[in-house]
Chain A
């Protein structure tokens, strides 16, 4: 059971917008910075978003990060088939003194 809770899967049609949620607590997302990673099939994860809402170098502005209370959200607009991947949220948990990841969300572009 992950400390951070993500939906197992989301889907949307090409060109549409999708959001992926990551629910935590005051010991992690609520008071610490979080990040988002994209893992394309058969490859290593790549950093997409850091410091809650900053896009990493080379990441298109179709990707965005936001926070509300103890939840984080990854938004992807203008969906493309190449966006099909697993997405993970990540942050530091102050109670555990450890990095924690969400369980991952599989994005399917219909």
Chain B
């Protein structure tokens, strides 16, 4: 059964860069699927950040695109998120996910989720 686990600092200072990694177990990233990030501010709803394929193809939320970079390390079977110039509005639980995204049918869904990690900007 595929398992995802987020890791990274739980506290980031304003204007600095948020960096998170997601380790994938029991499934090779290179086998396919997109791999993504979703966040949830405390007490609020879900927001899609973006996703990356093992080849490096990326899809980003346009509202965050200027600040987001995703990368994948197939040798370590993990992928990463960087979000620059953070503010208090970026405080959220960040989930890494496996994204079943099939272009061009626009058929997609998130079938595996990490447990989430709270990142506080302060």
Number of inter-chain CB pairs below 8 Å: 61
Q: Which residues of B contact A88 (CB under 8 A)?
A: 45-46
Q: Which residues of B contact A56 (CB under 8 A)?
A: 111
Q: Which residues of B contact A110 (CB under 8 A)?
A: none
A46 to nearest B CB, angstroms? 7
**Would you call B48 an interface residue if the criterion is a C-beta within 8 Å of the partner chain's C-beta atoms?**
yes
**Interface residues of B, CB < 8 Å — how many?**
20
A33-B108 in contact given A45-B113, A46-B113 (Cβ < 8 Å): yes
A37 to nearest B CB, angstroms? 7
**CB-based nearest B residue for A104:** B45
- Chain B residues 60-113 with CB under 8 Å of chain A are 61-62, 95, 100, 105-111, 113
B89 to nearest A CB, angstroms? 16
A36 to nearest B CB, angstroms? 9
**CB-based nearest A residue for B113:** A44
18 A-B contact pairs sorted by A residue (CB < 8 Å): A2-B45, A32-B106, A35-B108, A45-B46, A47-B110, A50-B100, A50-B111, A51-B107, A51-B109, A56-B111, A88-B45, A92-B108, A98-B48, A98-B59, A99-B48, A100-B48, A101-B47, A104-B46
